């Protein structure tokens, strides 16, 4: 029986691991990084559903100029504005391409060309910006917060005994007055294995990127605690979470 392929991560040659990771985090906006060795001879960076590893190899790094890596994004214009604003070296400016994507290319410190591609202009739907004053905290909800927010989002929700005590961590979205408007729970299932549950936003606060921001915070929190961890998400709203790097499963979604 043929083995089931679950994921793939590119490994780039780098002339300086720490400088490369700083560029990916500070300029390209990757959310978490890690290193191996002292001084580092290996490392990695991740953002959403994308992860790249780097191996210290000066000879190879001197020969990779122009090698390409394609990255799928949900909003190419938003990311392009971030990269231009942070001084990334743009090799090809953003535009709709004949092959059906809106794409641009930036060059990293070692010469690799990263092709960021999203839906073409004709398919991009306007979305509300994150409301002013909404803040996010990495903590578990209280019983009252869970039952109020999850109950409103899902129709009903009861914090059964031990539910919150057994929760590893969480992310809370708070309105300007400090009230909970969104939450999610993170469970530690085994070393290197986590799951995300109960991603909930009050109906009147939905469609304003609060859920996306909570998921980004959760993935960063898990990545900091356990780099490279396998993360499962339990949901039936697959389309939304596929944009965050999760792959569709029968009753859940998986991200590595």
Q: What is the pairing mode between strands 102-107 and 113-118?
A: antiparallel
pTM score of the predicted model: 0.52
Tell me the pLDDT tens digit for each residue of 19-39: 999 999 999 999 889 999 999
Q: Report d(CA 46, CA 227) in Å as an integer.
A: 9
pLDDT category of residue 243 using cuts at 50, 70 and 90: low
Tell me the pLDDT tens digit for each residue of 181-230: 999 999 998 999 999 999 999 989 988 889 989 999 999 999 899 988 88
pLDDT category of residue 125 using cuts at 50, 70 and 90: low
- The answer to whether residue 121 scores a pLDDT higher than 90 is no
Q: Report d(CA 176, CA 190) in Å as an integer.
A: 36
**Predicted local confidence at residue 129, as pLDDT:** 80
3-class DSSP assignment, residue 42: strand
Q: Is residue 83 within 8 Å of 90, Cβ to Cβ?
A: yes
- The answer to whether residue 256 scores a pLDDT higher than 50 is no
Tell me the pLDDT tens digit for each residue of 137-173: 999 999 999 999 998 887 777 888 888 999 999 999 9
Token match 């991200």: residue?
255
**Predicted local confidence at residue 49, as pLDDT:** 82
Rounded to the nearest 5°, which phi and psi values hold at 33?
-140, 160
Q: Report d(CA 148, CA 210) in Å as an integer.
A: 17
**Predicted local confidence at residue 255, as pLDDT:** 53
**Predicted local confidence at residue 250, as pLDDT:** 44
**Predicted local confidence at residue 19, as pLDDT:** 97
Q: Report d(CA 153, CA 208) in Å as an integer.
A: 14
Domain ranges of the chain: 10-123, 135-255
**Predicted local confidence at residue 2, as pLDDT:** 62
- Report the share of the chain in percent with pLDDT over 70: 88
**Predicted local confidence at residue 5, as pLDDT:** 77
Long-range contacts of 139-142 (CB under 8 A, 24+ apart): 139/169, 139/170, 139/171, 139/172, 140/164, 140/167, 140/169, 140/170, 140/185, 141/170, 141/172, 141/180, 141/183, 141/185
- One of 1.10.8.50, 3.30.1360.200, 3.40.630.30, 3.40.1160.10 is the CATH number of 135-255, namely 3.40.630.30
**Predicted local confidence at residue 156, as pLDDT:** 76
Tell me the pLDDT tens digit for each residue of 37-91: 999 999 999 988 899 999 999 999 999 999 999 999 988 998 999 999 999 999 9
Q: Is residue 220 within 8 Å of 136, Cβ to Cβ?
A: no
Q: Which superfamily, per CATH, for 10-123?
A: 2,3-Dihydroxybiphenyl 1,2-Dioxygenase, domain 1 (3.10.180.10)
**Nearest in space to 72 (alpha carbons), one of 115, 21, 125, 8:** 115
pLDDT category of residue 248 using cuts at 50, 70 and 90: low
């Amino acid at each position: 029986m043929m083995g089931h392929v679950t994921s793939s991560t590119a490994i780039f040659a780098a002339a300086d691991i720490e400088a490369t990771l700083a560029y990916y985090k500070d300029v390209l906006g990757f959310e978490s990084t890690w290193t191996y060795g002292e001084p580092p001879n290996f490392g990695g960076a991740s953002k959403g559903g994308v992860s790249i590893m780097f191996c210290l190899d000066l000879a190879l790094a001197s020969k990779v100029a122009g090698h390409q890596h394609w990255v799928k994004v949900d909003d190419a214009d938003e990311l392009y504005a971030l990269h231009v604003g942070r001084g990334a070296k743009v090799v090809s400016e953003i535009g709709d391409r004949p092959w059906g994507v809106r794409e641009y290319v930036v060059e990293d410190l070692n010469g690799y060309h990263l092709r960021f591609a999203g839906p073409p202009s004709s398919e991009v739907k306007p979305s509300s910006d994150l409301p002013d004053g909404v803040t996010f905290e990495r903590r578990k909800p209280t019983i009252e917060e869970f039952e109020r927010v999850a109950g409103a989002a899902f129709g009903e929700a009861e914090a059964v005994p031990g539910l919150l005590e057994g929760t590893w961590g969480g992310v809370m979205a708070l309105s300007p007055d400090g009230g909970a408007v969104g939450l999610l729970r993170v469970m530690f299932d085994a070393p290197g294995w986590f799951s995300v549950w109960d991603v909930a936003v009050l109906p009147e606060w939905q469609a304003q990127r609060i859920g996306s921001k909570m998921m980004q915070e959760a993935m960063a929190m898990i990545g900091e605690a356990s780099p490279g961890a396998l993360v499962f998400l339990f949901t039936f709203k697959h389309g939304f979470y596929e944009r965050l790097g999760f792959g569709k499963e029968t009753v859940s979604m998986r991200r590595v």
